[in-house]
Structure 1
Amino acid sequence: MLLHVPEVLSKAEVAAIRARLDQAGWVSGLQTSGAQAAGCKQNLQLSVDSPLFGELSRQVAEGLQRHPLFVAAALPKHVLPPMFNRYQDGGHYGNHIDNAIQTDRFTGRKIRTDVSTTVFLSEPEEYEGGELIAEDSYGCHEVKLAAGDAIVYPSTSLHRVEPVTGGVRVASFLWTQSLVRDAWRRAMLFDLDMTILKLRSQLGDSAEVVALTGHYHKLLQQWAE
């Protein structure tokens, strides 16, 4: 499931983060890449050793975790600290699948990556190219969102960032270990949750809506780890 989550960060929050990132020291993205990615990755990343990293990372994480749509889709058990990247001058990241296990840079804990998220910090008109292309069973999907918006997708998806041929593309990216490991089960729970919300707005807490809500929680209890 590929999901657009709007307004994770306000325009004011984006502007404040960008102002600080524009003054930050960026390092080669290859510092956090394995051997396979090294051949197809050309970008910059904010060093996790930067004094800005912890504060800005927490700000993005808090924005996501207070957004009900992200919570409903990802069902987060553990959200890894968001990182930051920058693409310019032809920078790109070829087809790849994210590592199945990542390390929490604050705790050292090993986390399974079920859900990938990109939070856009540049407006689409600020750069040329730079589309996120994600593939699933329905084909290729091109994503280029407003600053402050996020795209959420399974970490098993093949994806890439097209070359940035003009301007600068800045984003935050992160992974989540979900309470529900299986992507299809997460998608079914999300669809059921959204249907219940729509029915509640139309019917209130009718007996049927309460029954559906019960089914949702029974499935979550059955599938959660």
Structure 2
Amino acid sequence: MMLHVPRVLTAEQVREFRAVLDAADWVDGRASVGSQGAQVKQNRQLPTGSPVAQRLGALVLEALSRSALFFSAALPLRIVPPLFNRYEGGENYGLHVDGAVRRQPDGQWLRTDLSCTLFLSEPDSYEGGELEVVDTYGTHEVKLPAGDAILYPSSSLHQVLPVTRGARVGSFFWLQSMVRDEERRRQLFELDQVIQALRGRVGECAQTLTLTNHYHNLLRMWTET
């Protein structure tokens, strides 16, 4: 399941992020990938241990913690500290698959169930740079407003198309979900959205209570922590 998560950052936050990032020191993006990814990756990133990346990454996680939609879809257990990248002058990241596990700064391993890209450039400020995700339903191109995020399964083949004008700046990260199975996560998300919509129309009632009970019992049955 792919999900558009709107307004993770406000317009003011995006401007503040960009002021910092546009003045930052970028390095070759191939430093953070394995041999397969290095063959098709042409972009720049902030060094993972840089104070700028750590400070802005913490702000991204804080913003995501306020998004009920993100939590409902991802059910995050652990999140890799967000990274930041920049594409311009024809830079791109060819078709690839993310590694199944990643080591976190504390040394623990994290299973990559979901990938997330947070856009920090307005779509009309650059040409190209679409995130292209390939799944069983075809190929999907994503280019969202600055401050919005796209969440998608890490098992998907994907790429970033060449940026031919302007600069595409963004944040990206991976997470391990409390519910490992993608289909179960989708069912829980859809059930939660129905509960929220019903509660918004009729308030709390016997029906919403029953559905909420089913939701939490399924979550209890399927959760790995």
TM-score of the superposed pair, with normalisation by structure 2 = 0.97
The structural deviation recorded for 1:104 is 1.6
The structural deviation recorded for 1:66 is 1.3
Partner SS state of residue 118, structure 1: strand
> Which runs of structure 2 are paired with 1:1-225 in the superposition (5 Å)?
1-105=1-105, 107-225=106-224
Do the aligned residues in 2 keep the contact of 1:25 with 1:50 (CA within 8 Å)? no
2:115 counterpart letter in structure 1: S
The structural deviation recorded for 1:114 is 0.6
Render the CA deviation track for 1:125-148: whole Å, top value 9, x for unaligned: 110000001112211111000000
The structural deviation recorded for 1:203 is 2.0
Partner SS state of residue 155, structure 2: coil
Partner SS state of residue 152, structure 2: strand
Q: Runs of 4 or more off by more than 6 Å in structure 1?
A: none
Separation (CA, whole Å) in 1 of partners of 2:86 and 2:120:
10
The structural deviation recorded for 1:27 is 0.3
The structural deviation recorded for 1:65 is 1.6
Separation (CA, whole Å) in 1 of partners of 2:201 and 2:23:
49
The structural deviation recorded for 1:78 is 0.8
1:223 counterpart letter in structure 2: W
Separation (CA, whole Å) in 2 of partners of 1:149 and 1:3:
11
1:158 counterpart letter in structure 2: L
Separation (CA, whole Å) in 2 of partners of 1:89 and 1:32:
21
The structural deviation recorded for 1:46 is 0.4
**Alignment RMSD (CA, Å):** 0.8
**What percent identity do the matched residue pairs reach?**
54
The structural deviation recorded for 1:185 is 0.7
Separation (CA, whole Å) in 2 of partners of 1:109 and 1:8:
27
Separation (CA, whole Å) in 1 of partners of 2:134 and 2:2:
9
Give the paired residue count. 224
Render the CA deviation track for 1:66-112: whole Å, top value 9, x for unaligned: 1111000000111110000000111111111111111222x222111
Separation (CA, whole Å) in 2 of partners of 1:100 and 1:216:
28
